[in-house]
Structure formats: C-alpha cells, structure tokens
Amino acid sequence: NAGVTQTPKFRVLKTGQSMTLLCAQDMNHEYMYWYRQDPGMGLRLIHYSVGEGTTAKGEVPDGYNVSRLKKQNFLLGLESAAPSQTSVYFCASSSGGIQTQYFGPGTRLLVL
C-alpha cells in the first residue's frame, strides 16, 4: 500500500494564479482532510470530507475549495492564490471519526 500520496511535492505560483492539489489514499478510508502548516505552528484544518461526495469547512477554509468525487481522492483548489497561502499542505485520511489520521508527505507551496 502506498498509503496517502500527494501531488505535486512543490509548486511556485504567482499571485492570482490557480492550482489544484491532489491527495490520494489506497486504504479505503471514508474520511479525508486537508491541513496547512505554517512555521512554528501546528496543523490547521482547511476542509474535510466524511465520505464520497461530501465536504465540510474546517478552521481556515477561506480562499480554498475542495471536491471528493471519488472515495480515494480529495482535491484542494486555490482559485486565486495569495502570498498568505504560502505554506506546507498536508492531506490525511482515516477510517472513521478522527481516531487515527494517516498523513501524506506534504506539498510545499510558495506564492509570490
């Protein structure tokens, strides 16, 4: 099993550009999450999904959109990137609730 994978690993955007981060998991997990991690801070939840076709807002959802068209994939979109969205983005999945979340390796995003 590959677990949780994320693409791309690193990306540089200009302000106003858009992009989509892809998260995939092969553990048949129902729940999936997107977090951002900034220097000296813990992870903050952006959006999450409790099943295919469902999404919900987390702690810091503004400026992001998500989609869960397939159970194994969770996409995070930035429609108009801003420098404040420079961060490391982590995807996670879990079988149920939030008991144990398995994290991907992260995507480093730099917005100039």
32 binding other proteins? (CB under 8 A): no
Report residue 62 as tokens: 């503004």
Question: Would you say 33 or 85 has its CB closer to other proteins?
Answer: 33
Q: What count of Cα atoms within 13 Å lies in the side-chain half-sphere of residue 82? A: 4
Nearer to other proteins, 85 or 107 (CB): 107
Determine how β-strand 43-49 pairs with β-strand 31-37: antiparallel
Q: Which is nearer to other proteins, 2 or 14 (CB)?
A: 2
> Tokens for 53?
């076709």
| Contacts with other proteins, residue ranges (CB under 8 A) | 4, 40-45, 48, 58-59, 90, 92, 97-106
